[in-house]
Chains A and B, each alone.
Chain A
Amino acid sequence: MPESLLFYVLSGLAVGASALVIGQRNPMYSVLLLIVSFAALAGLYITLDAPFVAVAQMIIYAGAIMVLFLFVVMLLNAPQEDAAEWDRTHPLRRPGFARIGIVLAVLLVAELGWALAKVVSLGSPVGGRGDGAAISSVREMGRVLFTQYSFAFEATSVLILVAMVGAVVLARREGDV
């Protein structure tokens, strides 16, 4: 009982905060609400016996990527969307296409949910197979990461280097070093 309550509270928070993110006019509020959503997702990872991923999510996403977003929003003094245009172009007021789009999105979610529920094996509780304590051990994760996925690991490090150089070059002004 407390487990399912925790799940519903955390997932409700994550979904609610994400829905509010795309509905805010001020991008600063969007970033902060997304941090709340990330924290809720970290809680969901902990219920899935993945404490290391949960903490890594907080450190990487909420602690670094969102700070980057915040810096850019402050640096550009990101203008809020124009108020009149916001009222005019709000999805629920746009005729035709946007309404159909929203209906289709809801249909997609409903169909996905129905299809997933039909598959019988997905109804079994998560955490049935496998030992929770063995999975959440960082030692095991490190072992698999550096043996089975070592190529992906090295490729990721090159990727981050490329991204770093690219970001510095792209955001450079003419005349800067």
Chain B
Amino acid sequence: MIPLSHYLVVSAILFAIGSAGVFLRKNLITILLSVEIMLNAVNLSFVAFGRFNGTVDGQIITFFVMTVAAAEAAVGLALVIALFRGRESLNPDAFTSLKW
């Protein structure tokens, strides 16, 4: 029997890895992938808690998170394509013309 805290620790580590990826990487696609890692970490938490409480709500919320992640990935990638067409670069430092 695996205690709930184990699953939550795994979820926390995955979330930390995802956020580290968002902060440290300089490639737009890798940043989006790190966001997906974070969303998955949250999904794992939801399902673990749902099982812990003995209800099915955790799994249902997981569905909604997955759906929202799919929609966000689609729009995010469309934005990346549009940006790439403008600057020919996937480095976020190339899009700093509004910085003062």
A and B touch in the complex (CB under 8 A): yes
List 16 A–B pairs whose Cβ atoms lie within 8 Å, in order of A's numbering.
Answer: A3-B2, A22-B24, A41-B43, A44-B44, A50-B50, A56-B63, A81-B91, A89-B26, A113-B5, A126-B52, A129-B53, A129-B54, A135-B55, A144-B56, A145-B63, A167-B77
Q: A65 CA to B48 CA in the complex, in Å?
A: 23
The 8 Å CB contact of A160, one of B6, B26, B70, is B70
Rank and list the top 8 A-B pairs by shortest CB-CB distance, nearest first.
Answer: A130-B54, A125-B1, A22-B21, A163-B71, A170-B78, A129-B54, A167-B78, A171-B78
Residues in chain B within 8 A of chain A (CB atoms): 1-10, 12-14, 16-21, 23-27, 29-30, 32-34, 36-37, 40, 43-44, 47-48, 50-60, 62-64, 66-75, 77-82, 84-85, 89-91
Which size class do A's interface residues fall under? 35 or more
- Decide if A9 is an interface residue (CB 8 Å cutoff): no
Q: Which residues of B contact A168 (CB under 8 A)?
A: 78
The answer to whether A4 and B23 touch across the interface, beta carbons within 8 angstroms, is no
Name A residues whose Cβ lies closer than 8 Å to a Cβ of B: 3-4, 7, 11, 14-15, 18-19, 21-22, 24, 27, 30-31, 34, 37-38, 41, 44-45, 47-50, 52-53, 56-57, 60-61, 64-65, 68-69, 72-73, 75-76, 78-79, 81, 85, 89, 91, 98, 101-102, 105, 108-109, 112-113, 116-117, 119, 122-132, 135, 140-141, 144-145, 149, 152, 156, 159-160, 162-164, 166-168, 170-171, 173
